[in-house]
Amino acid sequence: MNEKILKLMERGTKILGSKYAIMGGAMTWISESNLTSALSNAGLFGVLASGAMDGNSLREEIIATQQKTGKNFGVNIITMNPKINDLIDVCGERKVSHVILAGGIPEKGTIEKIHSYGSQAMAFAPSQSIAKRLFKQGIDALIIEGSEAGGHVGPLSTMILIQDILLNLNEYPIFVAGGILRGELVAGLLKIGAAGCQLGTVFACCKESIAHENFKKAYFRASGRNAVLPVQLDKKFNIAPVRALENIATEEFVQKQREVLQKFERGEVAANNGRLSLEHFWAGSLRRAVREGDTDRGSLMSGQIVELIKEEKSIQEIIDQILKEAESVLD
Ligand SMILES: Cc1cc2nc3c(=O)[nH]c(=O)nc-3n(C[C@H](O)[C@H](O)[C@H](O)COP(=O)(O)O)c2cc1C
């Protein structure tokens, strides 16, 4: 059973050290020790989100995860986190097998630092040229994530990234993310050369997710068209787009953006600090929704795949369905 799909997954499972080449993408405030360990224990590859953590809080979360699973899992580190070096040191100290760098293009030195601890380094690539550069710099695997995904996204859809990056750089291991749920699609992506897939939104509202009940219910009620990107007020002040379910927080973000933009124009805040304060807005707002259940003023980061997610399922149910659907299209 599942032999054909497991065979297709081999390239990815060798890299991840998991049973299935399916990663549970890191989600700030959601991908903590419970969800991460549950994903890895079910044979997937869990990824812990370090968000805005410092070294000490990350150490605690890694230890908690290691107490709940003996399987491999990754740690997601945001490259603009000023504590990035401490965080990598903690991953090294705790012998984390994979560090996944997100939110920017990592520097060569960062990849080397991860390798110096014997861990594998993964990152996101928004274009073919950046993908090539990262592989030249020694990155072990890449994730291409289309704009259908939940959370911070790039401008291009998964479909475009597949054709521009995956199909041209088949010799390298590339995982695909953004808008994936059905097993038939997972099988198709593996067949055309993907090392595996990364899913996020579906695990935000699975049984093992610690997200508040109100948060999960908002997802089950929503349709894909509700998962929108906020308006960008000024092209000169480039903000990272974040896909989330439309609510009061979406409007508050536009207001916050206006305030920061005005401060920037008056020379009261540097562009980078301005952007960082907008990042803090999202992180605080996401916490409000995930932990406190405030679905009006909290951020409901979600991918368009929410269209297909209508009820709370366990990780086991989700993976079983994916494998069954994948097998159905393999001969
Ligand atoms: C609520 C939420 C929070 C997220 N936070 C992060 C994060 O902290 N770091 C990161 O690299 N990706 C983050 N993501 C992206 C996911 O890891 C994953 O790549 C994405 O959800 C995959 O697309 P999908 O939502 O269509 O399945 C987040 C996604 C969601 C839905």
pLDDT tens digits, residue range 119-134?
A: 999 999 999 999 999 9
Residue 171 CB coordination number (10 Å): 8
**200: Cβ below 6 Å to ligand 1?**
yes
Residue among 22, 28, 80, 286 whose CB has most ligand 1 atoms within 8 A, to mutate? 28
Looking at the fold, whether 296 and 315 belong to one and the same domain comes out as no
**76: Cβ below 6 Å to ligand 1?**
yes
Q: Measured between alpha carbons, how far is 167 from 216 in angstroms, rounded to an integer?
A: 35
Using a 10 angstrom Cβ sphere, with 0-12 exposed, 13-18 middle and 19 or more buried, the burial of residue 56 is: exposed
Using a 10 angstrom Cβ sphere, with 0-12 exposed, 13-18 middle and 19 or more buried, the burial of residue 297 is: middle
Looking at the fold, whether 180 and 53 belong to one and the same domain comes out as yes
pLDDT of residue 237: 76
Segments of the chain assigned E as strands: 22-24, 45-49, 73-78, 98-102, 120-124, 141-145, 151-152, 174-177, 196-199, 227-228, 242-245, 300-301
**164: Cβ below 6 Å to ligand 1?**
no
Q: E strand or H helix at 209, and its extent?
A: none
**193: Cβ below 6 Å to ligand 1?**
no
Looking at the fold, whether 100 and 186 belong to one and the same domain comes out as yes
Looking at the fold, whether 167 and 299 belong to one and the same domain comes out as no
* 27, 301 Cβ separation under 8 angstroms: yes
Termini Cα distance of the chain = 13
Q: Which residues does 47 contact at the CB level (< 8 Å), separation at least 6?
A: 23, 24, 25, 26, 31, 36, 39, 73, 74, 75, 76, 98, 100
**106: Cβ below 6 Å to ligand 1?**
no
pLDDT of residue 324: 96
Domain count, the chain: 2
How many Å lie between the centroid of ligand 1 and the Cα of residue 201?
Answer: 7
Average pLDDT, the chain: 95
Q: Which residues does 221 contact at the CB level (< 8 Å), separation at least 6?
A: none
pLDDT of residue 31: 98
Looking at the fold, whether 190 and 104 belong to one and the same domain comes out as yes
3-state class of 225 per DSSP?
helix
pLDDT of residue 152: 93
Radius of gyration of the chain measured on its C-alpha atoms? 19
* 300, 219 Cβ separation under 8 angstroms: yes
* 228, 246 Cβ separation under 8 angstroms: yes
The encoded tokens of residue 93 equal: 């100290």
Using a 10 angstrom Cβ sphere, with 0-12 exposed, 13-18 middle and 19 or more buried, the burial of residue 252 is: middle
Looking at the fold, whether 190 and 285 belong to one and the same domain comes out as no
The DSSP bridge pattern shows strands 151-152 and 141-145 to be: unpaired
Low-confidence ranges of the chain (pLDDT < 50): none
Looking at the fold, whether 101 and 181 belong to one and the same domain comes out as yes
Measured from the Cα of 290, ligand 1's closest atom is 1
For residue range 166-189, what is the model confidence (pLDDT) as tens digits? 999 999 999 999 999 999 999 999
Residue-range definition of the domain harbouring residue 285: 213-305
Q: Measured between alpha carbons, how far is 315 from 318 in angstroms, rounded to an integer?
A: 5
Q: Measured between alpha carbons, how far is 45 from 24 in angstroms, rounded to an integer?
A: 6
pLDDT of residue 154: 93
Looking at the fold, whether 51 and 183 belong to one and the same domain comes out as yes
* 38, 71 Cβ separation under 8 angstroms: no
Cα 270 → chain centroid: 28
**183: Cβ below 6 Å to ligand 1?**
no
**149: Cβ below 6 Å to ligand 1?**
yes
Looking at the fold, whether 234 and 86 belong to one and the same domain comes out as no
Smallest CA-to-CA distance from 73 within 54, 50, 104, 52 is with: 50
CATH code of the domain containing 142: 3.20.20.70
Measured from the Cα of 286, ligand 1's closest atom is 1
pLDDT of residue 279: 85
Looking at the fold, whether 14 and 68 belong to one and the same domain comes out as yes
Cα 47 → chain centroid: 8
Looking at the fold, whether 44 and 185 belong to one and the same domain comes out as yes
The residue contributing the CA closest to ligand 1 atom 2 is 27
| DSSP structure class, residue 236 | T
Looking at the fold, whether 70 and 188 belong to one and the same domain comes out as yes
pLDDT of residue 179: 98
pLDDT of residue 308: 98
Q: Which residues does 331 contact at the CB level (< 8 Å), separation at least 6?
A: none
